[in-house]
Structure 1
Amino acid sequence: MRVLSVAMIVVSLVLSAAIFGFFYAWICSTMWGLDAADPRMAISAMQAMNASVRNAVFAPAFFGTPMALGLTAALLFAQRYRSSAAAFALAAALYTGFCLILTLGVNVPMNEGLAAVAIPPDAATAQVIWRDYSQPWQVWNQFRTVAAGLAFLAALSGLFLYRRAPRAAGTAA
């Protein structure tokens, strides 16, 4: 059981870090680059990125993170690593509420709205469309990035609490 718990701790940390990095990259490079580009190109590029992100490489980090964190919390709780389990449960709650649900409830509908936009031939009209999309999208992305970072830190604290805890009674080495 201990080997499984350690493996799940590692999986949870890797997935949490991956999704935090994904959201963070949008803040510090992708959106700034698109904001600096011709708005017609920015709309087209964002439409393409949003269409391509739904793939088998992205799905484990996005959808697997809350499952891995929750399973890790349950395994640790069953082994009586209560403090560590609580940290992983907090990470799962933070990610689920402020990353997964926020993304599905806010960012995805915004992306779908942008996907339905025909790119206007004139830059002025495209600029209005892009500004009205980009500014609120970035605000919500900042919220989910902070939440993903906090979830990662909570999971990391779960690792430290696990390492510091005396071996729980009844667990095999």
Structure 2
Amino acid sequence: MFNNTLVTLTLIAAIGSGLVAGVFFAFSTFVMPALARIEPAQGIAAMQSINITAINPLFMLALFGTAVVCLFLAVFALLKSEQPNSTDLLIGSLLYLIGAIGVTIAFNVPLNDALASVKPGSPEGATLWSKYLTNWTLWNHVRTVAALISTLLFTIALGK
């Protein structure tokens, strides 16, 4: 029974982290570059709208539900370190928790909050937008790689 639960949680973590990695990948590879190509006021307004609509039950479930599963997997890995998949589960969980969730909270959300406070057509907005594009995208690359490697490690753990 416990082994089936572990397999199920690992599968959920693999799917969740893969889904989140895909969202982050899309932003890094074409959403942010597209927003950078348009006038700052339009880019700011579009990103402000994206940041509001991103806070929805489905995305929050994928992002934070996966984090909750990772917490359980990390505890399991620490308590059952002799299991062949414990290292993969622990590293995958920590990468997701620190690299996807931690980076989101520490870097991307504060940048989003700063962007939310400016008027799209203002000089302050244009100045902020230039820095925002660079910094937000950099941290999004980190989130993408962390979630992607987590997916890989969870998938490897399933095979052990």
Correspondence 1:135-154 to 2 at 5 A: 135-154=134-153
- 2:109 is paired with a residue whose SS is helix
Distance 1:38 1:153, change over 3 A: same
Q: Which runs of 4+ in 1 moved over 6 A?
A: 76-81
C-alpha RMSD of matched pairs (Å): 2.2
- Which deviations, in whole Å up to 9, do the C-alpha atoms of 1:60-84 show, x marking residues without a partner? 1111112213324555777787121
C-alpha separation between the residues in 1 aligned to 2:66 and 2:117? Answer: 30
Correspondence 1:31-110 to 2 at 5 A: 31-74=32-75, 82-110=83-111
**What is the TM-score when the length of structure 2 is the normalising length?**
0.88
C-alpha separation between the residues in 2 aligned to 1:129 and 1:75? Answer: 43
- Report if the CA contact (8 A) 2:85-2:157 is conserved: yes
Query: Structure 2 regions of 5+ residues with no counterpart?
Result: none
Query: Structure 1 regions of 5+ residues with no counterpart?
Result: 162-173
What amino acid sits opposite 1:83 in the alignment? P
- Which deviations, in whole Å up to 9, do the C-alpha atoms of 1:97-135 show, x marking residues without a partner? 1111111011100000000001226xx765433212111
Check if 1:134 corresponds to 2:140: no
C-alpha separation between the residues in 1 aligned to 2:93 and 2:58? Answer: 21
C-alpha separation between the residues in 1 aligned to 2:21 and 2:43? Answer: 23
**What is the TM-score when the length of structure 1 is the normalising length?**
0.82
Check if 1:19 corresponds to 2:26: no
What amino acid sits opposite 2:65 in the alignment? G
| Matched length | 159
- Report if the CA contact (8 A) 1:88-1:155 is conserved: yes
